[in-house]
Chains A and B, each alone.
Chain A
Amino acid sequence: MPGAIYAEGLVKTFGDVRALDGVDLDVPEGTVLGLLGPNGAGKTTAVRCLTTLLQPDSGKAVVAGIDVLKHPNEVRRSIGLSGQFAAVDEYLTGRENLQMVGQLYQMRAKAAKARAAELLERFNLTDAADRPAKTYSGGMRRRLDLAAALVVSPPVMFMDEPTTGLDPRNRQALWEVIKELVSGGTTLLLTTQYLEEADHLAHDICVVDHGRVIARGTADHLKAQTGGERVEVVVHEPEEITPAGEVLRGFGKGEVTAETHTRKLTVPVTGGAKLLAEIIRELDTRGIAIDDIGLRRPTLDDVFISLTGHAAEDAAADNGVDGAQGRVQKADKAKKEAVK
């Protein structure tokens, strides 16, 4: 059985830019796929193709068992979309916004009204329900936008950078909502630039760059791909770097690297916590004082750098084609900000 969200060879070009260059996706029902990538990687374009907003140049897309290209309007009944920019009418109140969306999902006026009240309650917006949305804070708007996407409890949800621009507290709150949603059986495709977010929320992760999926798997799987664990030691005195390096060389599975100014030494290892204890004993025996020691597993940031050769944050800025689209998106963002 194909998943609740399925794509095969999606291609979308904008002029010379191949925003999607043959993307395959398969999200099993009831799971979360994190689409991870820098600005301009093609994440938003992928979401727009899957939610019927954009027509791909070629490829196949099936959402909730329905062919997206052949039956877009049927797909629209089964999906909820929450975008990068809170898609609510700022002159309408929260209640009016939700009621309108409900009616446009073809609910009767009365049912839409009842559902709006229910969602306002659930998203903690009841107090602000009858104020125009433009008086809402960023976090409240995002909650309202998410509520709008959930009006008909769609089986398949798309969230395009749901927490971009939110403060940590609001991000945390939104994560809780998303987790609750998924525990109820919703299939979710989530795009994010935050490696931590993908790690936290997604069952599977697809790393995208230049419109291609460059790696896929669970967070653990991807971390393992990048290389195993390593031991980091910070010695107390700079002159202890050399003797400590000798100790680590004895235990490590590779070259020891040392940074003089931070007095930090790193060595790849296998053997985990048991080995760590042995290293501590040996350093102690030789009388080497340490400030810090730890076993480090690679972060998704490390994964990203090892896969793309650049960190997630500055990817858009430092390479050709992708950079061009990154700039377009930035200009777009600036424009949208200005409109607000």
Chain B
Amino acid sequence: MTAVTDVAPAAAPKGVGGIGQSVRDSLVVARRNLIRMTRIPEMIIFGLIQPIMFVVLFSYVFGGSMNVGGTTDSAVYREFLMAGIFAQTVTFATAGAGAGIADDMHKGLIDRFRSLPMARGAVLTGRTLADLVQTALTLLVLAVVALLVGWRTHTSLGEVLGAFALLLLLGYAFTWIGALIGLSVRTPEAATSGGLIWLFPVTFVSNAFVDSGQMTPWLRHIADWNPFSATVQASRELFGNPGVVDSSAWPMQHPVWASLIWSVLIIAVFRTLAVRKYRNATA
């Protein structure tokens, strides 16, 4: 056989490589995932029913017995509750992302993606962006239901939208944790359960459903520093809803900043880990 000389690759076509390509490829993959969602509408429907159920159950079952801000008035609890339910909803969507990615990884399509000259992180970024769209839709429907059961905001439109932006950012950040779980397990079923288990302590050891000020000190400490609590606290503040935790912990004092910092930090860490895992998945 003839000796092989290393031939330099041809120059990349114009506009290929870099952040521009990353964004374009991610949007192409996001479009693919959004089309899939419209073809499997039952997934969207179930995604909507669950949080609506939570709103109704928590409002009417716990409503009269919860002490928030020194009152057990169920109308007060309902206003208090919504920021928690919103935050829980955006985080629970992450299990779906994990399952979707685990499912993709075990199909031939992933070989197709990996053999294409596309940006490496685009398969995951596209998926998380599509999930973000779905989460936004769920949040919109949930807000309407919340208004129907008596939830009201008492601030400017800008502040209300700001709260929703923070909630979506938290959801997007948690999606990357779900993505990493999806890449680490063998089956979509494992990704669903694995993607949910850790969410229970995260959402319950927080200020989402109860006044964390009444917890035992060590638990209260965890709740105060829980990234999830920061977003809930920030949303309550921006909605002008009751039950804002009075705590000396920094994230509770500056919830908007804390929520932003936590979310960006989670994205930075888990996106890096997930993309690395994806690259090495079958290599």
Contact = CB atoms under 8 A, between A and B. Distances in A.
B223 to A, nearest CB: 40
Contacts of B24: 103
B283 A89 contact: no
B10 A104 contact: no
A269 interface: no
A11 B122 CA distance: 30
B117 A81 contact: no
Interface string B9-53: 110110110000100110011011001100110000000000000
Interface in A68-113: 70-71, 73-77, 79, 81, 83-89, 91-92, 96, 100-101, 103-106
Interface centre among A6, A89, A96 (most CB of B within 10 A): A89
Contacts of B15: 106
B113 interface: yes
Contact of A339 (B10, B29, B106, B112): B106
Interface residues of A, number: 48
B59 to A, nearest CB: 36
A105 B117 contact: yes
A81 B111 CA distance: 9
A8 B4 contact: yes
Contacts of B108: 83-88, 145, 336
Interface in A134-162: 145, 148
A53 B283 contact: yes
A100 B28 contact: yes
A106 B111 contact: no
Contact of A76 (B1, B21, B116): B116
Given A89-B36, A91-B40, A92-B32, A65 B25 contact: no
B111 A53 contact: yes
A2 B2 contact: yes
B144 interface: no
Contact of A55 (B4, B117, B283): B283
A39 B264 CA distance: 48
Contacts of A91: 35-36, 39-40
A153 B13 CA distance: 16
Given A74-B10, A91-B39, A92-B35, A104 B28 contact: yes
A24 interface: yes
Interface centre among B31, B116, B118 (most CB of A within 10 A): B116
A291 B40 CA distance: 63
A106 B112 contact: no
B111 A87 contact: yes
A62 interface: yes
Interface string B207-220: 00000000000000
Contacts of A74: 9-10, 12, 117
Contacts of B116: 76, 101, 104-105
B28 A71 contact: no
A70 B6 contact: yes
A1 interface: yes
Interface in A115-146: 132, 145
Given A24-B1, A100-B28, A148 B112 contact: yes
Contacts of A77: 10, 13, 117
Contacts of B31: 100
B115 interface: yes
B115 A52 contact: yes
Contacts of A2: 1-4
Contacts of A88: 108-109, 112
A98 B40 CA distance: 20
A335 B13 CA distance: 39
A92 B36 contact: yes
Contacts of B6: 67, 70
A51 interface: yes
A60 B282 contact: no
Nearest to A70: B6
21 contacts: A2-B1, A2-B4, A26-B2, A54-B283, A70-B6, A74-B9, A77-B13, A81-B111, A81-B115, A83-B111, A85-B107, A87-B108, A91-B36, A92-B32, A92-B36, A100-B29, A100-B31, A101-B112, A104-B122, A106-B118, A336-B107
Interface of A: 1-2, 6, 8, 24, 26, 48, 51-55, 60, 62, 65-67, 70-71, 73-77, 79, 81, 83-89, 91-92, 96, 100-101, 103-106, 132, 145, 148, 335-336, 339
Given A60-B4, A70-B6, A87-B110, 4 more contacts: A2-B3, A52-B115, A85-B107, A104-B118
- 5 tightest CB-CB pairs across the interface, nearest first? A74-B9, A87-B108, A85-B108, A87-B112, A76-B117
